[in-house]
Amino acid sequence: MTKKTVTDLDVSGKRVIVRVDFNVPLKDGVITDDNRIKGALPTIEYLVKNNAKVILMSHLGKVNHKDAEKTEADKAKNNMAPIAVRLQSYLPESKVTFVAETRGEELEKAISELEDGNIVLMQNTRYEAGESKNDADLAAYWASLGDLFVTDAFGSVHRAHASTVGIANHLPSALGFLVEKEVKFLTEAIYNPQRPFVAILGGAKVSDKINVIENLLDVADKVIVGGGMAYTFYKAMGREIGTSLVEMDRIDVAKAVMEKAGDKLILPVDTVVASEFSPNAEPVTVASDSIPADMMGLDIGPKSIELFKKALDGAKTVVWNGPMGVFEFETFAKGTLEVCKTITELPGALTVIGGGDSAAAAIQLGFKDKITHISTGGGASLEFMEGKELPGIAAIQDK
Ligand code: 3PG
Ligand code: MG
């Protein structure tokens, strides 16, 4: 890595702005998954231990700035206050002060009174309309609140926003430990894989993953495709897919991918279908070329599980992004569960799971500690796997 990391900075007594990704799922104001908060703790703890004054910034959800009524509703829904409470519980030695503003006197006062080793968490960066536009004045203002800038928001490094990129233009900067770790594992898997290297892609849409499929076809030995996007491939083969998910405008792309991939691309051979999208729907297993016209595919079938297991046998590197079926419904979770289990049982393999749904699935199914690395970034890990430059990392100073 050519970028500076937090250990390259002299942080003692300094005001260190850390962009974290605390965009965690909330249900009725309660955090339902705090892996992203935990992911940033090593950097925060390091700064605390080294007597920095820590200023944390993150976005949470999305805030509409076009319609005033919606702006207020989104702000109320995406208030960071519960996150400060959770953070304090993980850092009992430090005082975490939450400031419910993104600018002004209260924020400036809290920072000027901040003691070494203590923490200020600022309100949701997206309360500011300028955040997502990478507004130059906003970035300069936020940068004026600190002496140094550290990015540890891996989940947001694909966004060129004021708090991810803009601030970095004003201050000495470095990567935090989470970003460093994410980049290390993703680079090892995609750019320097031990072979055989098998990629598994799933999820609902071909359009989300097409660039990843294309990039991985160049570097992986096999690419397994499951989940909702498999039906667009079947449609491209001229098959009946019933009422399954399909993207008609991606059929040509799917055809082109199949032609280019040859037998590198492995598709499911059977499908668990049902007549409705419901956790209580009756599951029926059919061959993938025999989906009834009035039914939809919701998971891969047992023969596909066997086929995928065989394709994974002996793999030394596995990258997985996107579930094999509707794992949120127990009846249709088997494909995702079995594939995940298979990955965890590969001896000596480097296994990396992209963020988003597949990370949620692996954690929910209890495999968290058996995977080499589960990314905290959904969109960010996808863009990394597409081979794109990530602006939030590019903005950081070189060593
Ligand atoms: C995410 O959850 O994907 C990241 O936190 C980025 O959020 P965004 O997709 O709303 O920019
Ligand atoms: Mg997102």
- What string of DSSP letters covers 202-239? -SS-HHHHHHHHHHHHHH-SEEEE-STTHHHHHHHTT-
The pLDDT of 86-112, averaged and rounded, is 98
Whether pLDDT at 114 is above 70: yes
Whether pLDDT at 160 is above 90: yes
The pLDDT of 63-91, averaged and rounded, is 97
The pLDDT of 273-300, averaged and rounded, is 97
Q: Which ligand 1 atom is the nearest neighbour of the CA of 61?
A: 10
Question: How far apart, in whole angstroms, are the C-alpha atoms of residue 375 and residue 381?
Answer: 7
Whether pLDDT at 259 is above 70: yes
pLDDT of 106: 98
Reported as a pLDDT band with limits 50, 70 and 90, residue 283 is very high
DSSP label at residue 15: E
Cβ atoms of 54 and 84 within 8 Å: the answer is: no
- Strand 270-274 vs strand 296-300: parallel, antiparallel, or unpaired? antiparallel
Reported as a pLDDT band with limits 50, 70 and 90, residue 208 is confident
Instruction: State what percent of residues in the chain have pLDDT above 90.
Output: 92
Ligand at minimal distance from the CA of 132 is 1
Q: Is the C-beta atom of 184 inside 6 A of ligand 1?
A: no
Label residue 76 exposed, middle or buried (CB < 10 Å: 0-12, 13-18, 19+).
exposed
pLDDT of 364: 83
The pLDDT of 203-207, averaged and rounded, is 87
Question: Is 341 part of the annotated catalytic residue set?
Answer: no
Q: Which ligand 1 atom is the nearest neighbour of the CA of 36?
A: 5
Tell me the sheet residues that pair with 66: none
Sheet containing strand 296-300, edge to edge, reads 284-287, 270-274, 296-300
The pLDDT of 272-291, averaged and rounded, is 97
Question: Is 378 part of the annotated catalytic residue set?
Answer: no
In sequence order, the 6+-apart residues with CB closer than 8 A to the CB of 276 are 296
Tokens 């430090």 belong to which residue?
A: 94
CA 61 to centroid of ligand 1, rounded, Å: 7
pLDDT of 1: 56
Q: Is the C-beta atom of 21 inside 6 A of ligand 1?
A: yes
Q: Is the C-beta atom of 159 inside 6 A of ligand 1?
A: yes
Question: Is 15 part of the annotated catalytic residue set?
Answer: no
Whether pLDDT at 136 is above 80: yes
Of the residues 227, 356, 378, 392, which is catalytic?
Answer: 356
pLDDT of 365: 84
Count of beta carbons in the 10 Å neighbourhood of residue 118: 18
Q: Is the C-beta atom of 62 inside 6 A of ligand 1?
A: yes
